[in-house]
Amino acid sequence: MAGLRARLSWRAATLVDLRDETPTARTLVLDVPDWPGHLAGQHVDVRLTAPDGYSTQRSYSIASAADGTRVELTVQRVIDGEVSSYLIEEFRVGDEIELRGPVGGWFVWRPNDTSPTLLVAGGSGVVPLMAMIRARRAAENRSLCRLVYSMRTPEDVIYADDLLRPGGPDVSVDVQLVHTRAAPPSSPRPAGRMTHAELARWAWPTDLEPHNYVCGPTAFVEAVADQLVALGHDSAQIRTERFG
């Protein structure tokens, strides 16, 4: 009996450009023919196959807003990460990879959402949240939005060109950076982990029924989600994505 035809198929994606975001993170600009478009927060599976048939795959968040056949992924180098090592060290403009998607319907932001939005990122967890900021900008959605972004040092800020430009990424997006190991000299905030008091100040009042998105390493995501619940936020409106 013939098997069911897979509903989701692998497509060839060609690297057309790349940008180094930090010493360990690189954005890959891919051209994916017949790309159906995506929602901010969705991801793709990337599959690599060696000449001997060995195959491995990994899920990556999309960094860009929907824009024709162009899809951007930001890859953080992971120690012993065979997919990330290949994508950062060997993948060159003109090369192809296999990709399927977009997938995921939970950790997504829709352009018609006018609820106040709090985006909380730990490290490379900023990737799907940046897609949300870019999708807001593309949709000219001016609802309240704040990004709280925690990273170790100033050189670890992914999308610094976009986030730190004068006026911020968008007039309606407030950006708060939390440097945990070393802060820039200009920062009024000393280096250190985000405190409960800071999150309480940056979170939107619960009366506004905000939508909260938290993405980052597991321990970071759990701590932030627990604090938001303690502040009275509806757990159904705290959407999380974790890795590591």
In the complex, least distance from residue 234 CB atom to other proteins, rounded to whole angstroms: 14
The whole-angstrom separation of Cα 80 and Cα 7 is 32
From residue 186, alpha-carbon distances to 61, 212, 219 in Å are 31, 29, 29
Nearest approach in angstroms of CB 240 to other proteins is: 7
Q: Of 98, 104, 97, 157, which is closest to residue 127 (Cα–Cα)? A: 157
* Shortest distance (Å) from residue 37 CB to other proteins: 15
Among 29, 81, 111, 198, binds other proteins (CB under 8 A): 81
Q: Which is nearer to other proteins, 5 or 201 (CB)?
A: 5
Judged by CB under 8 A, the chain residues 82 through 141 that form the site for other proteins are 82-83, 100-101, 103-107
For other proteins, give the closer residue by CB, 187 or 218: 218
232 touches 202 (CB < 8 A): no
Rounded to whole angstroms, the Cα distance separating 88 from 90 reads: 6
- Of 43 and 134, which has the nearer Cβ to other proteins? 43
d(C-alpha 177, C-alpha 196), whole Å: 15
Q: Which residues bind other proteins (CB under 8 A)?
A: 3, 6-8, 42-45, 56-59, 78-83, 100-101, 103-107, 218, 239-244
